[in-house]
Amino acid sequence: MLDETTKGVFTIAATPFLPNGALDFDSIDRMIDAYIEKGANGLTILGMMGEAGKLSSAESVAVVRRVRTRCAVPVIVGVSAPGFAAMTALSQEAMDAGAAGVMVAPPMGLRTDTQITSYFHNTVDALGGIPFVLQDFPLATGVQISPAVILQIVKDCPTCVMLKHEDWPGLEKITALRKASDKGARRLSILCGNGGMYLLEELLRGADGAMTGFGYPEMMRQVLDAFQAGDMDRARDVFDAYMPMIRYEAQPGMGLAIRKHSLARQGIIKHPTLRKPAAGLTAETIKEIDALAARQTRRLCELGL
């Protein structure tokens, strides 16, 4: 079960589709295996990157079950929904299937601090005792959550055990939360998203690991290992080798298509298909990705990776 001490690399999983848009269960199996082989300590499924909003509720349950059957690492299930009835239903299915916890992003439209804390009070009511991750991703949700509000939620809601951190800029937020827990606030686990763009600085500020879906998920493991070994030069060398691609993926609205392209190129999933509505990649974009991938391979080779 997820708790405040959870650490390491939680890979955000894509949801693979066949060219006709149906779920591709064979690719789910292969992808889960690859994520774990490349160093995932856990998985997060049905997040934004998992195209969760585009699945029917039956499909969501089917994905959760398939993933749980395939692997033994902790699985977090994204359950953000327009209303609590749907959130409760999916959360219960997920926990019944053996999930370690769920993840909730606040809905677009919340503005004041009070609206945000109320929303999470209601979330706790909806989830019962299920441990949950607060996903703080203002670029996607439009909801700005200050450190003081996060600390209020941490105080009010014992089942909030982890922050998926992807505010931007967000480094000061990590520092503020760690200073608060040094002074006695409950310390929650912080795993960082944002495609890994600030991973090294996030670790320096006190994050417990990474939770993102970068197309070469071994990056998180390699950076974290070097960092934990205290070899900062090595950590920066590895991190910088991936940075041109991390930055390319960071283009809003394009990241998922780029990642699925990269995963398919590596044979991790069979098709790069996204469900509609989704922008496809142009020939120019694919050429750019492939050029970056080739350089990345060379550079990693120089680093002995």
Q: Which of 5, 57, 69, 266 binds its own copies (CB under 8 A)?
A: 57
The size of the interface with its own copies (CB under 8 A), counted in residues, is 59
CB 29 within 8 A of CB 268: no
Residue 166 binds to its own copies (criterion: CB under 8 A)? no
Taking the least distance from each CB to its own copies, the nearer of 85 and 305 is: 85
**CB of residue 23 vs its own copies: minimum separation in angstroms?**
10
Q: Which of 129, 184, 252, 304 binds its own copies (CB under 8 A)?
A: 252
Q: Which of 156, 240, 290, 302 binds its own copies (CB under 8 A)?
A: 240
Q: Which residues of 207-227 are buried (b: 16+ CB within 10 A; e: fewer)?
A: bbbbbbbbbbbbbbbbbbebb
Total residue count of the chain as it appears in this document: 305
Q: Which of 1, 148, 301, 305 binds its own copies (CB under 8 A)?
A: 148
Question: What residue spans of the chain are helical by DSSP H?
Answer: 25-37, 57-70, 84-96, 113-127, 138-141, 147-156, 171-182, 199-205, 218-228, 232-249, 255-265, 283-302
By CB under 8 A, the residues from 182 to 201 that bind its own copies are 197-198, 201
**CB of residue 42 vs its own copies: minimum separation in angstroms?**
25
Residue 128 binds to its own copies (criterion: CB under 8 A)? no
Helices (H) and strands (E) in the chain, counts: 12, 8
Residue 175 binds to its own copies (criterion: CB under 8 A)? yes
**CB of residue 201 vs its own copies: minimum separation in angstroms?**
5
Residue 104 binds to its own copies (criterion: CB under 8 A)? no
Q: Which residues pair with 104 in a beta bridge?
A: 134
3-state secondary structure of 164: strand
**CA 35: distance to chain centroid?**
13
**CB of residue 112 vs its own copies: minimum separation in angstroms?**
4
**CB of residue 243 vs its own copies: minimum separation in angstroms?**
5
By CB under 8 A, the residues from 9 to 48 that bind its own copies are none
- CA nearest neighbour of 131 among 108, 153, 99, 109: 99
Residue 118 binds to its own copies (criterion: CB under 8 A)? yes
Burial class (CB in 10 A: 0-12, 13-18, 19+), 189: buried
**CB of residue 26 vs its own copies: minimum separation in angstroms?**
20
Residue 297 binds to its own copies (criterion: CB under 8 A)? no
In this structure, the number of other CB atoms found within 10 A of the CB of residue 192 comes to 28
Peptide bond into 277 cis (omega under 30): yes
Residue 71 binds to its own copies (criterion: CB under 8 A)? no
- Please name the residues in contact with 148: beta carbons below 8 A apart, sequence gap of 6 or more: 113
Taking the least distance from each CB to its own copies, the nearer of 54 and 187 is: 54
- Please name the residues in contact with 38: beta carbons below 8 A apart, sequence gap of 6 or more: 11, 217, 218, 221
**CB of residue 188 vs its own copies: minimum separation in angstroms?**
20
User: Which parts of this chain interact with its own copies (CB under 8 A)?
Assistant: 51, 53-57, 59, 81-86, 89, 108-109, 111-114, 118-119, 122, 125-126, 144-146, 148-149, 168-169, 171-172, 175, 197-198, 201, 204-205, 236, 239-240, 243-244, 247-248, 251-254, 275-277, 282, 284-285, 288, 295
